[in-house]
Amino acid sequence: MLYLTRRETFNAAHKLHIPEWSDQKNREVFGKCSNPNWHGHNYQLFVTVAGEPDPQLGFVMDAKKLSVIIKEEIIDDVDHANFNLDVSWFPKNLQPTTENMVFIFWQRIEQRVNEAGARLYSIRLQETENIYAEYFGPEGRK
Amino acid sequence: MLYLTRRETFNAAHKLHIPEWSDQKNREVFGKCSNPNWHGHNYQLFVTVAGEPDPQLGFVMDAKKLSVIIKEEIIDDVDHANFNLDVSWFPKNLQPTTENMVFIFWQRIEQRVNEAGARLYSIRLQETENIYAEYFGPEGRK
Amino acid sequence: MLYLTRRETFNAAHKLHIPEWSDQKNREVFGKCSNPNWHGHNYQLFVTVAGEPDPQLGFVMDAKKLSVIIKEEIIDDVDHANFNLDVSWFPKNLQPTTENMVFIFWQRIEQRVNEAGARLYSIRLQETENIYAEYFGPEGRK
Amino acid sequence: MLYLTRRETFNAAHKLHIPEWSDQKNREVFGKCSNPNWHGHNYQLFVTVAGEPDPQLGFVMDAKKLSVIIKEEIIDDVDHANFNLDVSWFPKNLQPTTENMVFIFWQRIEQRVNEAGARLYSIRLQETENIYAEYFGPEGRK
Amino acid sequence: MLYLTRRETFNAAHKLHIPEWSDQKNREVFGKCSNPNWHGHNYQLFVTVAGEPDPQLGFVMDAKKLSVIIKEEIIDDVDHANFNLDVSWFPKNLQPTTENMVFIFWQRIEQRVNEAGARLYSIRLQETENIYAEYFGPEGRK
Amino acid sequence: MLYLTRRETFNAAHKLHIPEWSDQKNREVFGKCSNPNWHGHNYQLFVTVAGEPDPQLGFVMDAKKLSVIIKEEIIDDVDHANFNLDVSWFPKNLQPTTENMVFIFWQRIEQRVNEAGARLYSIRLQETENIYAEYFGPEGRK
């Protein structure tokens, strides 16, 4: 079993806030991340797939095909977008935290990655140089 | 003459658009950067000051004091903010491009840096891993 | 189960040497790292916690609270300090290697992280661009 | 159990192509990576070993000894070399993909690492800023 | 006057050797860089243009247009290529050193950059994490 | 005229303090950098030389020769050393600030670089990811 990781990048705006709460309470809980007028990040997305390399090609999965899947299912919709307003498939009742993003990104690409012959192993998202989240799927890290 | 550079970071939202133009024309000129609902970046700001090191202290300028000036005059207002909506001192008639940011940032800190005993030499702003702008003041690179 | 990682940095001096040994033997075993007058590093510390995101907040753990714990329990004592001389809670009979640091750091923060509602998953410490160590707790990588 | 990682770098040329195929078919499958006249990369190799730190020395393994093993068994043969033509121990029937490299590198160093008192845990190879592969040995990630 | 820099990347093979010399003399002068079977690098190319930002758009030059020029004139020909064999416009009598590359790259894009309304200011090429070259045009750094 | 830059790294301990001052006054002026028991950094040193590339070799200066000069004159003495105690040629009356280091490093290598056929152009020293200093020699940036 070998693991192949592909990095993609996107730039997006978001804010963390709960509409039922006052601005003040949002500020107390989410700090500057609740700024009503949004802020944003250069996100780095790392998708890892697992499998046996094809004996002839030497690929767990063609990295270019993996890139196409990530772009079509995620990047095209989130790059230069607002996570709270523009991303139709991001649930409105979920805060666009790094944790929730990797969870939802998993749903977006798992099937297509698996159909391409590899197994989706993990999705890691770097929000700033100081923070990243990682998800290994519903069965967890194996 | 020696040069000392201090890096600070901030995360902000912005968009490039000219209100008098249609969304379509904004899209043609500014591409995805014109998305009406904003996008954002992790900005890295590099401020360089020039001077002779103090013979006793060995400092062109105390890097901590330089950091305080940058934070009070720039970072506190732009971090986790929306450049088009939240930054009172950023001219409304200027697009918040990397080029215009370094130009305006220069006005914000030049006097305080010079009063602290050094000379502001340059301001460089990294917007993504692929793009940065730099400004050397009204008299240019010397 | 999701994983959230927070990076903190500190700059410290240390040396590797066994007092019972001659300088020459220390040199033979530890090389330049045994220089009697110390040397130092810019350390990068990555703390990973695991848990289910809070359904309302979307946080495995508030990254700012995690940062406070790391700073109060580790960074405040080791930043701009000498690992052999200044860090009261670092055992005198342990060499301040990267391996021993992550092991001791684990003891410092495990309880507070767990009380904050997440589970401490791993501590990784980057000593130079070429070396890092990682620890997953007494029960190992799961 | 603690984990120590050592990074080494090398610069090499390679191409992906199957001699029995036409240039056109190689191009269709491998894209630009099949350019007959080769291309190349700055590779970053990360080798992780696992073990209990020596109670006196604090080392899972002396990082300098690990570096010597990696250099003698891998780097000396692949640095500034052509993976398809110059590396005698790289099987001619394997494509020099990142996946196959970490697999073969494992065979090169496992025994020497284990004889040095640690356990080889993983080999990760970064080919570009966007792609890396990792291998955890025949028994997989534990 | 403001300065805008755009980064592009490419992966290429090359070798340094003088055909009139023996392999041994090439080895003495160029070291491992003379390996007859080539080696390669992940190159990072930084192109800086200078100018006054357009008062309405805020651009010294549209970074996307700059990217197109660099790609059409340089990257499309050198990416996944062999500098000694594949790049028709790279003079056969010049060694493909980092210095000569930035010099020749300047000729490739100067006119198109200037026609686009900015002034080409510098070209910097990072060959490894330890080496880069920079060129400021025939009139030098101003 | 072309510019070639070579990076070298070293890890060192230092402190900023004026012996005639009390610990308290040192603390007021230098902050944590005055810790009596030292602290340390991973320094990155960038040396830039200028010249015309040799028409046959394509080198402004052989980067390996430049590396040897930097190592023999600087790195061998400062790596894994204490700047205040171990570096015989660093003036005792100068604080080991980043600014003073690049100034003194210039004296160490200028003559040997110039004898090797290039002109020393600048020395830049990165102390942390947030601070670096640069020196262009007694005649300044040209």
pLDDT in tens, chain F (142 residues): 999 999 999 999 999 999 999 999 999 999 999 999 999 999 999 999 999 999 999 999 999 999 999 999 999 999 999 999 999 999 999 999 999 999 999 999 999 999 999 999 999 999 999 999 999 999 988 7
Interface chains of chain B (3 or more CB pairs under 8 Å): A, E, F
Please count the structural domains in chain A: 1
Cα dihedral across residues F15, F18, F24, F29: positive or negative: negative
The beta strands (E) that lie in E16-86 are given as: 39-51, 81-82
Span A48-88, pLDDT tens digits: 999 999 999 999 999 999 999 999 999 999 999 999 999 99
Q: Which F residues, 4 through 33, put their C-beta within 8 Å of a C-beta on chain C? A: 9, 11-14, 32-33
Answer whether residue A28 is part of any domain.
yes
* Structure tokens, F129: 């990811």
Write the CATH number for C56: 3.30.479.10
DSSP bridge pairs for F2:
E135, F51
Residue-wise pLDDT tens digits, D74-96: 999 999 999 999 999 999 999 99
User: What 3 state SS string does A26-47 have?
Assistant: HHHHHHHHHCCCCEEEEEEEEE
Mean pLDDT of C46-67: 97
Query: Length of chain E in residues, anyone?
Result: 142
Catalytic residue among B8, B33, B99, B110: B33
Mean pLDDT of B11-22: 97
Q: What was the pLDDT predicted at C141?
A: 84
Among D56, D75, D142, most C C-beta atoms within 10 A, so best to mutate, is: D56
Range of the domain at B109: 2-135
Residue F141 lies in a domain: no
Evaluate whether residue A65 is within a structural domain.
yes
What's the rounded Cα separation, in Å, for the pair B26 and B40?
Answer: 17
pLDDT in tens, B32-69: 999 999 999 999 999 999 999 999 999 999 999 999 99
pLDDT digits (tens, 9 = 90+) for A19-54: 999 999 999 999 999 999 999 999 999 999 999 999
% chain D with pLDDT above 90: 97
Q: How high is the pLDDT of residue F34?
A: 97
Evaluate whether residue C101 is within a structural domain: yes
Supply the DSSP string of B57-97, one letter for each residue. T--SS-HHHHHHHHIIIIIHHHTTEETTTT-TTS-TTS---
Give the model's pLDDT for residue A121: 97
The interface predicted TM-score of the complex, written ipTM, equals 0.96
Tell me if residue B139 is catalytic: no
Residue F140 falls within a domain, yes or no?
no
Determine, yes or no, domain membership for A141: no
Q: Provide the token pair at E120.
A: 């080409």
Answer yes or no: is pLDDT of E142 > 90.
Answer: no
pLDDT attached to residue C38: 98
Is A142 within the bounds of a domain? no
- Which residues of C does the annotation mark as catalytic? 33, 80, 127
B121-133: per-residue pLDDT in tens? Answer: 999 999 999 999 9
Rounded Cα distance between A55 and A64, Å, is: 18
| Options F39, F52, F72, F80, the catalytic residue | F80
**Bridge partner residues of B3 (DSSP):** B50, F134
Is C16's CB within 8 Å of D58's CB? yes
Task: Give the residues across from D43 on adjacent strands.
Answer: D10
Indicate whether D24 pLDDT > 90: yes
| Pairwise CB contact (< 8 Å): E99 & F142 | no
Q: Do B13 and A79 touch (CB under 8 A)?
A: no
Distances (CA, A) of F101 to B59, C6, C128, C135, F78: 11, 33, 21, 36, 11
* C 60-99 residues with CB < 8 A to A: 60, 63-64, 67
| F142 located within any domain | no
Q: How far is B49 from chain E (nearest CA, A)?
A: 17
Model pTM above 0.80: yes
User: By the CB < 8 Å criterion, does F46 face chain B?
Assistant: no
> Pairing relation of β-strands F81-82 and F119-128?
unpaired
Nearest CA of chain C to the CA of D24: how many Å? 41
pLDDT at D45 over 80: yes
Separation CA B47–CA B9 (nearest Å): 11
- Chain B touched by F44 (CB under 8 Å): no
Q: Is E44 on the interface with F (CB under 8 A)?
A: no
Q: What is the mean pLDDT of chain A?
A: 97
